[in-house]
Amino acid sequence: MGLLDGKVAVVTGAGGGIGRCHALALAERGAKAVVNDLGGARDGTGSGTVMADSVVDEIRRAGGEAVANYESVATMEGAAAIVQSAVDAFGRVDIIVNNAGILRDKTLLKMEESMWDAVIAVHLKGTFAVTQASARRMVEQGDGGRIINTSSMSGLFGNFGQSNYGAAKAGIAGFTRVAALELLRHRITVNAIVPVAKTRMTEDIAATPQEFVPELVSPMVVFLASDLAQDVTGRVFGVIGPRLCEYKYITTPGVAKSDGISSPEEIAKRFDDITRDE
Active-site annotation, residues: 165
End-to-end CA distance of the chain: 48
Residues 77 and 44: beta-carbon distance below 8 Å: no
Please name every residue paired with 96 in a beta bridge, in sequence order, or none if there are none.
10, 147
Please state at what angle helix 17-28 crosses helix 218-225, rounded to 10 degrees. Answer: 50
φ/ψ (deg, to 5) at 162: -130, 45
In sequence order, the 6+-apart residues with CB closer than 8 A to the CB of 33 are 8, 9, 10, 11, 14, 23, 26, 27, 56, 59, 64, 65, 66, 67
Residues 148 and 98: beta-carbon distance below 8 Å: yes
Phi/psi-derived region of residue 149, left when phi > 0, alpha when psi is between -120 and 50, beta in every other case: beta
Report d(CA 113, CA 119) in Å as an integer: 10
What length is written for the chain? 278
Q: Using only C-alpha atoms, what is the Rg of the chain? A: 20
Interstrand relation of 8-11 and 95-97 (parallel, antiparallel or unpaired): parallel
Q: What three-state secondary structure class fits 153?
A: helix
In eight-state DSSP terms, residue 259 is G
